[in-house]
Amino acid sequence: MKNKIILAITYLVMSFNCSLAFAAPDEIYLFRHSEKLTGKNPALSEEGKARANNLVTLFKSHQNIHLFSSDYNRTLQTAAPLQEHFNTNINIYDAGELNNLKNELLKLEGVVVVIGHSNTTPELAELLSNEKMPAMSETQFTKFFILNKKPSSNGSDYDVTHHKMSF
């Protein structure tokens, strides 16, 4: 009887660990914050606020999203319209710990949106896709990445495509 209990517990633990190994988002969207004012930890400009509001149109077909932002005024304000539309939380990440963010993202399912910076957005795309990404200019606010899970992947490899916002 004792062996059957141990065997059952072992099976449950292995099943749980396997389900975690295959959990991964279907799509990950990586954005740089919208246009900003000047100064230390600046807020969004009027143009940036309009662009942030327009982000919602990209996700209207989704029921919900997982939303991540670094802890800066410009990134949080870019994420705010999505937070309000989906009535969800903004998960704050440390922009200096992108490997930790990658690991956290790969535990999720569905659609993930990350609002970052011109230096961290391509770096995170590289970590998730294992491909070299072009740098983002400090003045580039319309470019973003969409990462789709590779069909034959175990959840850790993504195909990345570059997009440009038309609004």
Please check whether residue 137 lies inside any domain of the structure: yes
- Measured between its terminal Cα atoms, the distance across the chain in Å is 66
Residue 1 falls inside a structural domain: no
Range of the domain at 131: 24-164
Residue 80 lies in a domain: yes
Whether residue 4 lies inside any domain: the answer is no
**Residue 68 domain-assigned (yes or no):** yes
* DSSP 8-state assignment for residue 66: E
Please report whether residue 12 resides in a domain: no
Per-residue pLDDT of the chain (167 residues; tens, 9 = 90+): 655 444 444 444 444 444 444 578 999 999 999 999 999 999 999 999 999 999 999 999 999 999 999 999 999 999 999 999 999 999 999 999 999 999 999 999 999 999 999 999 999 999 999 999 999 999 999 999 999 987 765 556 788 887 888 76
Which sign does the torsion angle of CA 75, 80, 86, 89 carry?
A: positive
Domain count, the chain: 1
CATH value at residue 50: 3.40.50.1240
Pairing of strands 27-32, 143-149: antiparallel
Is 11 among the domain residues?
Answer: no
Q: Is residue 133 part of a domain?
A: yes
Could you tell me if 98 and 127 are in contact, meaning their C-beta atoms sit under 8 angstroms apart? yes
- pTM value surpassing 0.95: no
